[in-house]
């Protein structure tokens, strides 16, 4: 890896701290050769509902082996998870200030029937980049390597110790909930999201 390059896992509408790290780097790579880790940002995002946190997970086709590279994980379509996820997002954010502005593009991604998780993750990432008005190049790792320094974010949970806040739907009911999917920030702050991400202290992210 280059000295100033950071490495991130792939994500499905990743958390706010994930994108805080990403927007401050002009040289990052996404890991595609690691073994898949379930119940992480790689296949799950967390949004804000009237009842609190709501997990949205992309189902995968399970194999006999417990170790499968992320690039080889196939999406399972036995259940209409795309309809469920889209309906959940609409229900949770229909009253947010900027949802109407973004809803058309969000709806389109759930019409895509990608075979591999990594391809769907890329589509979600590209939508976020579009919403944030970012034009960074997107590169993947060419092989897996062990890295023991501060540029490796693959094992992060993308939570923040920082007590950041913004105007959030359901705040009066649930209080403020941190570290949700980037969608929560975008639907609530719109074009101001990028400036908010830049102000988050990355040293507080773990």
Q: Rounded CA gap, 90 and 77, in Å?
A: 21
Specify whether the CB–CB gap between 73 and 120 falls below 8 A. no
Q: Rounded CA gap, 136 and 133, in Å?
A: 10
Residue 101: the pLDDT is: 96
Give me the chain's average pLDDT, please. 94
Element (H, E) at 53: strand 52-57
| Alpha helices (H) in the chain, listed in sequence order | 16-23, 81-93, 99-109, 117-131, 171-174, 182-189, 193-199
**Mean pLDDT on 70-79:** 96
Residue 96: the pLDDT is: 96
Residue 119: the pLDDT is: 97
Q: Rounded CA gap, 45 and 54, in Å?
A: 8
Residue 172: the pLDDT is: 85
pLDDT class for 62, splitting at 50, 70, 90? confident
Q: Rounded CA gap, 132 and 137, in Å?
A: 14
Domains of the chain, by residue range, sit at: 6-200
Q: Rounded CA gap, 192 and 185, in Å?
A: 9
pLDDT class for 64, splitting at 50, 70, 90? low
Residue 8: the pLDDT is: 96
Specify whether the CB–CB gap between 61 and 103 falls below 8 A. no
Residue 3: the pLDDT is: 56
**Per-residue pLDDT tens for 86-131?**
999 999 999 999 999 999 999 999 999 999 999 999 999 999 999 9
Q: Is the pLDDT of residue 66 over 80?
A: no
Residue 35: the pLDDT is: 95
3 state SS of 49: strand
**Per-residue pLDDT tens for 128-185?**
999 999 988 899 999 998 887 779 999 999 999 999 999 999 888 889 999 999 999 9
Residue 139: the pLDDT is: 92
pLDDT class for 65, splitting at 50, 70, 90? low
DSSP track, 124-142: HHHHHHHHTT-----EE-S
**Per-residue pLDDT tens for 1-32?**
455 789 999 999 999 999 999 999 988 999 99
């Amino acid at each position: 890896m280059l000295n100033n390059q950071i490495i991130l896992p792939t994500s499905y509408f990743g958390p706010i701290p994930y994108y805080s790290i990403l927007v401050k780097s002009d040289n990052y790579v996404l890991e595609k050769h690691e073994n898949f880790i379930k119940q992480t940002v790689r296949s799950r995002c967390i949004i804000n509902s009237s009842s609190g946190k709501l997990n949205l997970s992309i189902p995968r086709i399970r194999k006999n082996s417990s170790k499968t590279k992320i690039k080889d994980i196939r999406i399972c379509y036995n259940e209409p998870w795309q309809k469920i996820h889209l309906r959940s997002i609409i229900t949770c954010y229909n009253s947010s200030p900027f949802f109407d502005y973004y809803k058309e593009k969000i709806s389109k991604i759930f019409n895509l029937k990608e075979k591999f998780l990594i391809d769907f993750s890329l589509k979600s990432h590209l939508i976020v980049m579009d919403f944030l008005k970012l034009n960074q190049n997107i590169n993947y790792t060419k092989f897996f390597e062990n890295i023991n320094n501060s540029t490796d974010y693959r094992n992060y949970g993308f939570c923040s110790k920082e007590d950041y806040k913004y105007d959030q739907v359901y705040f009066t009911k649930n209080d403020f909930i941190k570290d949700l999917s980037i969608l929560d920030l975008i639907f609530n702050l719109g074009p101001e999201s990028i400036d908010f991400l830049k102000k988050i202290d990355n040293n507080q992210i773990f």
